[in-house]
Amino acid sequence: MTIKQGMKAIGHLDADCFYVSAERVRDGFLRGKPVGVLGNQGACVIAKSYEMKGAGVSTGMPIWDALVKCPEGVYVKRDFRWYEVLSRLMLEVAREVSPRVEYYSIDEFFFTVVEPRGGTFQGLADSIRDRVWERVGVPVTVGIARTRTLAKLISDAAKPFGALAVMDRGAEERLLSDRPVTEITGIAGRRAARLAPWGITTCLDLARADRRLVRSLLTASGEELWWELNGDPVRSVQARRPAHKALSRGGSFGESTSDPAVLHAWLVRNLERLIEELEYHGVSAGRLTIAIPYKSGQLGVGQVNLAVPSDRFDVLLDVARPALRKAWIPRATATHMHVIAEHLTSRSDCSGDLFEPPARGVRARAVAQLKREVNARHGRFALRSAATLALAPIYRDAANSHDICDVRGKSCF
Ligand SMILES: [Mg+2]
């Protein structure tokens, strides 16, 4: 098959033993040594280097067993806050090469790519891997293919520190013939067992099976995989989630403004309102988007993913500020602002306070609790961030104390 100029493809970037690699970024002593990263309470190995894997240590193994297998290993406690920092740097690189990036997990992104003019997809895969290595210091593997399912299989096959673009059907089939079906995300024990009686054990077997049979065995989601394995992209890169999975706060400023200090004050106000809503629903936000419509008709948008979902003011404000900078068009007059929380997860599902120095989390929760209690007693916004001082007249006017967006169950945009 010949590849046309300007052809589109999907990339998959996946860090190699990410937590270990992240620890090595800040401590060069760990390079080339068997390293294990320990989880909560330091009881289990949640990530290990290739050297430690070679010694027989597996993920989830208790520390006492790991110490027997690998007594010379270096064991460090996880620091998700640091991993989040590096994850964001990797994301930045992905966004430089692609207009559409899906933040799939802390160390894995899918993105769309176009074949570079005068270059190749292989050259692009190499350059993305090298750029992340130079900029972030984390080794990653990059796969580029016609579909996201193929891209992930290819990057898995090219690990570690690999870069591989496969756009040719012959090369795809060679790769698929080596991989068991269970290598495909979404095909584990029970689904694989349904395929086995039909002689479908490799990815290539699945690709060559009758499509209707695959649908009858694995339902519509299995058929999607069938198309994907055969090079027809049916699963797109999800740079945005559907609106109904979002909560948002914002609206008109009343008085339009081009003053960044006033915009910042609005950001804080909207964020405080949004946090009330997150608390009400018992959810944390995994992504925050700031949208600013301008008088000129332009729309500024800034979006930030949180590696660890949060409902906390300090954490959300930290990510909302860079998003505001992205959405800000200097000297243009803004009329509205929307702050949108997406990738909502139940608060019981996320253990944000495990991922940072505990003191910070405890303090933030205490401040949030105090804020809630004071406001419950003395009125909404009686206690609020000083960053909202620029909007004193807005708060003085009781008409502003409840916005159309604050009516629950409504979508504001
Ligand atoms: Mg990884």
Q: Is 412 among the domain residues?
A: no
- Residue 316 sits in a domain of what CATH number? 3.30.1490.100
Q: Is 75 among the domain residues?
A: yes
Ligand 1 centroid – CA 18 distance (Å): 5
Instruction: Answer yes or no: do 251 and 333 share one domain.
Output: yes
Output the pLDDT for position 348: 65
Instruction: Answer yes or no: do 152 and 45 share one domain.
Output: yes
Out of 141, 166, 191, a domain closes at: 166
Q: Which residue has the tokens 């590696």?
A: 307
Cα–Cα distance, 294 to 136 (Å, whole number): 35
Ligand 1 centroid – CA 336 distance (Å): 39
Instruction: Answer yes or no: do 150 and 184 share one domain.
Output: no
Domain count, the chain: 3
Ligand 1 centroid – CA 46 distance (Å): 12
Instruction: Answer yes or no: do 32 and 118 share one domain.
Output: yes
Instruction: Answer yes or no: do 248 and 227 share one domain.
Output: no
Output the pLDDT for position 354: 60
Output the pLDDT for position 116: 93
The pocket of ion ligand 1, defined by CB under 5 A, consists of 14-15, 18, 107
Q: Is 281 among the domain residues?
A: yes
Q: What is the pLDDT along the chain (413 residues), one digit of tens a residue?
A: 554 557 999 999 999 999 999 999 999 999 999 999 997 667 889 899 999 999 999 999 999 999 999 999 999 988 877 888 899 899 999 999 999 998 888 899 999 999 999 999 999 999 999 999 999 999 999 999 999 999 999 999 999 999 999 999 999 999 999 999 999 988 988 999 999 999 999 999 999 999 999 999 999 999 999 999 999 999 999 876 444 588 989 888 878 999 999 999 999 999 999 999 898 888 999 999 999 999 999 999 999 999 899 999 999 999 999 999 999 999 999 999 999 999 999 876 555 556 677 788 888 889 888 999 998 898 888 899 988 988 988 888 765 665 545 534 333 32
Cα–Cα distance, 326 to 239 (Å, whole number): 16
Bridge pairing between strands 74-77 and 35-38:
parallel
Instruction: Answer yes or no: do 70 and 14 share one domain.
Output: yes
- Residue 97 sits in a domain of what CATH number? 3.30.70.270
Out of 135, 166, 197, a domain closes at: 166
Instruction: Answer yes or no: do 213 and 333 share one domain.
Output: no
The three-state DSSP-derived secondary structure of the chain is: CCCCCCCEEEEEEEECCHHHHHHHHHCHHHCCCCEEEECHHHCEEEEECHHHHHCCCCCCCEHHHHHHHCCCCEEEECCHHHHHHHHHHHHHHHHHHCCCEEEEECCEEEEEEECCCCCCHHHHHHHHHHHHHHHHCCCEEEEEECCHHHHHHHHHHHCCCCEEECCCHHHHHHHHHHCEHHHCCCCCHHHHHHHHHHCCCEHHHHHHCCHHHHHHHHHHHHHHHHHHHCCCCCCCCCCCCCHHHCEEEEEEEEEEECCHHHHHHHHHHHHHHHHHHHHHHCEEEEEEEEEEEECCCCEEEEEEEEEEEECCHHHHHHHHHHHHHHHCCCCCCEEEEEEEEECCEEHHHCCHHHCCCHHHHHHHHHHHHHHHHHHHHHCCCCCCCHHHHHHHHHHHCHHHHCCHHHCCCCCCC
Output the pLDDT for position 62: 93
108, 228, 342, 356: the active-site residue? 108
Instruction: Answer yes or no: do 146 and 178 share one domain.
Output: no
Q: Is 203 among the domain residues?
A: yes
Output the pLDDT for position 404: 42
Ligand 1 centroid – CA 138 distance (Å): 11
Instruction: Answer yes or no: do 394 and 280 share one domain.
Output: yes
* Amino acid identity, position 402: H
- Alpha-carbon distances of 198 from 54, 208, 226, rounded to whole Å: 35, 12, 15
| CA-based max dimension of the chain | 73
Q: Is 182 among the domain residues?
A: yes
* Amino acid identity, position 96: E
- To the query of whether residue 108 is one of the catalytic residues in this protein, the response is yes
This model's pTM is above 0.85: no
- Residue 192 sits in a domain of what CATH number? 1.10.150.20
Taking alpha carbons only, the member of 247, 370, 264, 381 closest to residue 309 is 247
Instruction: Answer yes or no: do 133 and 184 share one domain.
Output: no
Out of 109, 134, 166, a domain closes at: 166
Taking alpha carbons only, the member of 166, 239, 172, 241 closest to residue 9 is 166
Instruction: Answer yes or no: do 58 and 158 share one domain.
Output: yes
Q: Is 413 among the domain residues?
A: no
Instruction: Answer yes or no: do 372 and 348 share one domain.
Output: yes
Domain that holds residue 312: 243-406
Cα–Cα distance, 31 to 54 (Å, whole number): 15
Q: Is 352 among the domain residues?
A: yes
Ligand 1 centroid – CA 153 distance (Å): 13
Ligand 1 centroid – CA 163 distance (Å): 14
